Amino acid sequence: MAQLSPLLKQATPVLAERGEGVYLYDADGRRHLDFTAGIGVTNTGHCHPRVVEAAREQVGTLIHGQYTTVMHRPLLRLVEALGDVLPDGLDSLFFLNSGSEAVEASIRLARHATGRQNIVVFHGSFHGRTMGAAALTTAGTKFRAGIGPLMPGVAVAPFPQAYRYGWDEDEATRFALRELDYALATSSPASDTAAFVVEPVLGEGGYIPAPPAFLEGLRERADRHGILLVVDEVQTGYGRTGRFWGHQHAAVRPDVLITAKGLASGFPLSAIAAPTALMEKAWPGSQGGTYGGNAVACAAALATLEVIRDENLVENAAVLGARLNEGLREVAADHPEIGDVRGLGLMQACEFSTPDGEPDTAAAQRAHRAAAEQGLLLLTCGAFGNVVRMIPPLVVDASQIDDALALWAKAVAGAAG
Ligand code: PMP
């Protein structure tokens, strides 16, 4: 008899039978408030009727229009629709299936376009698990240990992790940029560096928003040295942070944008976007795949973009993100083990620390488990697993935020007791 591999590590014991909006229903009919959104994917909620309808219709028309063999309309329509939301100048799109694949595609493109080899990433980065993407991932040992040698040509510079350093954001940013300059003068010479790859909010690495001055400092150095600024918006895109794209909290424009997760509400679809002139530096056929730009996924993505627009989900994320952050701060005020509350929009987290400021992994894991027992599904993150994060679908309403906060308060109190 076959069984699921013990390689699988599941964050909650739930067997999900059905999803609707911000709720998952298990085999016993119990309702769970889903503040994981499938790791930041189901921004439009589980099974949004418009997404379901678009996918259903496409399934009966054309499922697999293989894009290196034939073109299909859902892909062409999606390119047009994304054109309305992408930053100016990023007018060329290439489609893949997962975030990791899109990261791989961006590495190829950056190397082709610049003729340079090195990629600089920032401590705590998560860019995926395929071998190239894993080489760019520094969010924890479980993503790297024992699988090397990984792709060479990767340098790691500090990310401004203000709370961990015990500094304010400005100090942390100054330090990180100074160390980046040092790396470009030593370990990864600027003339050999193809790209900086950065998340607007460090995701798996602990939900740490990049200070705008940090992203702006990267842009300035990229321009100065002919390096590409590649922004990984896999987790921060589609309104998650209260702006359409996470990098829009800073005055920067990326050279390459990587997107996946929220793009198609749960259907596997990802893309890289860049100026056509940049894409032209590689050649037709240098990227591809069997399933990229799947027709059903593209139809779902089109409906997703319409829902985000028609239901004002970006604004909802900004308004309710502020409410969630405030409520989390109130809970933290009674619980000194929560050392930091931070986030942007509906990408919020609580970092658990011991009285002397060390990561308190056990306390975070207890609170996470206690929340699940209360019917509130959450995830942890951070190199030490001591950060509990909340990423509800963006269709969440104020009363559901308040429900989650009440459950969280109970969970933290129970876990502490
Ligand atoms: N980049 C970021 C910022 C991510 O958060 C993730 C997934 N958590 C990935 C890349 C990898 O995406 P996937 O799991 O779809 O390969």
Map residue 284 onto helix, strand or coil.
coil
Residue at 11 is within a domain: no
Residues 185 and 292 in one domain: yes
* Gap from CA of 110 to ligand 1 centroid (Å): 19
Residue at 361 is within a domain: yes
Query: Hey, whose CA ends up nearest to atom 5 of ligand 1?
Result: 235
Measured from the Cβ of residue 170, the count of other Cβ atoms closer than 10 Å reads 13
| Predicted pLDDT at 296 | 98
Tell me whether strands 228-232 and 193-198 are parallel, antiparallel or unpaired: parallel
Residues 32 and 94 in one domain: no
* Gap from CA of 223 to ligand 1 centroid (Å): 27
Q: Which of 310, 345, 372 is the last residue of a domain?
A: 310
Give residue for tokens 């308004």. 319
Residues 59 and 191 in one domain: yes
| Predicted pLDDT at 41 | 98
The band of 120, judged by pLDDT with boundaries at 50, 70 and 90, is very high
Residues 392 and 258 in one domain: no
Detail the DSSP E strand segments found in 298-362: 338-344, 347-352
Residue at 2 is within a domain: no
Residue at 154 is within a domain: yes
Residue at 181 is within a domain: yes
- Helix%, strand%, coil% for the chain, nearest 5: 40, 20, 40
Residue at 5 is within a domain: no
pLDDT in tens, 233-244: 999 999 999 999
Residues 120 and 220 in one domain: yes
Residues 299 and 411 in one domain: no
| Predicted pLDDT at 416 | 83
Q: Which of 283, 310, 337 is the last residue of a domain?
A: 310
Residue at 30 is within a domain: yes
Share of the chain above pLDDT 70, in %: 100
* Gap from CA of 151 to ligand 1 centroid (Å): 18
CA distance 398 to 3: 41
Give residue for tokens 């909340």. 390
- Measuring CA to CA, how many Å separate 167 from each of 76, 77, 311, 348? 48, 47, 39, 20
Examine residue 74 and say whether the peptide bond preceding it is cis (omega within 30 degrees of 0): no
Residues 163 and 231 in one domain: yes
CA distance 327 to 325: 5
Mutation pick for ligand 1 pocket among 97, 234, 236, 269 (CB with most ligand atoms within 8 Å) = 234
pLDDT in tens, 349-377: 999 999 999 999 999 999 999 999 999 99
Residue 417 has pLDDT above 80, yes or no: no
Q: What is the per-residue DSSP string for 62-123?
A: -S---TTT---HHHHHHHHHHHTTSPTT--EEEEESSHHHHHHHHHHHHHHHHS--EEEEET
Residues 199 and 236 in one domain: yes
Mutation pick for ligand 1 pocket among 42, 104, 126, 391 (CB with most ligand atoms within 8 Å) = 126
Residues 139 and 279 in one domain: yes
* Gap from CA of 61 to ligand 1 centroid (Å): 30
Q: Which domain holds residue 342?
A: 16-47+312-416
Amino acid at 305: L
Q: Which residues contact 413 (CB under 8 A, 6 or more apart)?
A: 334, 335
- CA torsion sign, 376 to 380 to 385 to 387? negative
Q: Which helix (H) or strand (E) holds 195?
A: strand 193-198
Residue at 190 is within a domain: yes
Average pLDDT, the chain: 97
What the block records as the tokens of 405 is 């906060």
Amino acid at 251: A
Residues 353 and 319 in one domain: yes
Q: Which of 310, 327, 362 is the last residue of a domain?
A: 310
Mutation pick for ligand 1 pocket among 235, 256, 263 (CB with most ligand atoms within 8 Å) = 235
The band of 297, judged by pLDDT with boundaries at 50, 70 and 90, is very high
Mean pLDDT of 213-232: 98
Q: Exposure string (b/e) for 371-408, b if CB count within 10 Å is 16 or more?
A: bbebbbbbbbbbbbbbbbbbbbbbbbeeebbebbbebb
pLDDT in tens, 123-167: 999 999 999 999 999 999 999 999 999 999 999 999 999 999 999
Q: How many structural domains does the chain have?
A: 2
Mean pLDDT of 300-320: 98
Residues framing ligand 1 (Cβ under 6 A): 39, 98-100, 103, 126-128, 199, 203-204, 232, 234-235, 260
The answer to whether the beta carbons of residues 102 and 136 sit under 8 Å apart is no
Residues 301 and 319 in one domain: no
Q: What is the per-residue DSSP string for 205-273?
A: TT-EEPPHHHHHHHHHHHHHHT-EEEEE-TTTTTTTTSSSSGGGGSS---SEEEE-GGGGBTB--EEEE
pLDDT in tens, 324-354: 999 999 999 999 999 999 999 999 999 999 9
Residues 118 and 151 in one domain: yes
Mean pLDDT of 185-189: 96
Share of the chain above pLDDT 90, in %: 99
What the block records as the tokens of 265 is 């509400």
Q: Residue 31's domain is classified under what CATH number?
A: 3.90.1150.10
Mean pLDDT of 383-395: 98
